[in-house]
Amino acid sequence: MSQLRIPADPNRPLIVFDGVCVLCNRTVDFIIQRDQRKLLRFVQLQSEAGTTIVNTLDIGDAPTASVYLIEGDNTYTKSTAVLRILRLLGGVWSTLYIFALIPRFIRDGIYDFIARHRYGWLGRTTSCRALTSDIADRFVQ
């Protein structure tokens, strides 16, 4: 297994997302707007760093089928990652973590349904997002 070569910061969780998915990019925009503490960092799966992370974590053949949240030594996927991200946003968003009480196979079933249809519903871009100077420091490249 290769060594993970991203700036390590156990106090700033990392979200790994599909950079060509319109829904995923809109979700990242949603998170950025609400993450007032600038706690969360992001990496696009299609970037060099994203590829390294996917290979290091050995997350399977279809890594774009999930979002990944890396918090310290822990990696969360699918609905658990989403709920933990909402919890990290704080405020009213953290109250949605109560949905973690729903069995994971049900939550992940809903997540998988959305993941399977996201390109059909909102499409995909031909390239990863361009980073503006005001958010570039939040992305690992």
SS3 23: helix
User: What range does the domain containing 18 cover?
Assistant: 14-126
In a domain, 136, yes or no: no
Surface-to-core class of residue 16, CB atoms within 10 Å of its CB (0-12 exposed, 13-18 middle, 19+ buried): buried
Within-domain flag for 8: no
Q: Is residue 137 part of a domain?
A: no
Residue 85 has pLDDT above 80, yes or no: yes
Helix (H, G, I), strand (E, B) or coil at 42: strand
Tell me what pLDDT residue 47 has.
Answer: 86
- pLDDT surpassing 90 at residue 49: no
Per the model's pLDDT, the better-predicted residue between 8 and 108 turns out to be 108
Answer whether residue 4 is part of any domain: no
Pairing of strands 74-77, 41-44: unpaired
Q: Using the 8-state DSSP alphabet, how is residue 70 labeled?
A: E
Amino acid at 72: G
Q: What pLDDT is stored for residue 48 in this prediction?
A: 87
pLDDT at residue 73, as a whole number: 82
pLDDT tens-digit profile of 90-124? 999 999 999 999 999 999 999 999 999 998 898 88
**Cα separation of the two ends of the chain:** 20
Question: How many structural domains comprise the chain?
Answer: 1
Q: Which pLDDT belongs to residue 129?
A: 66
Tell me, yes or no, whether 2 lies in a domain. Answer: no
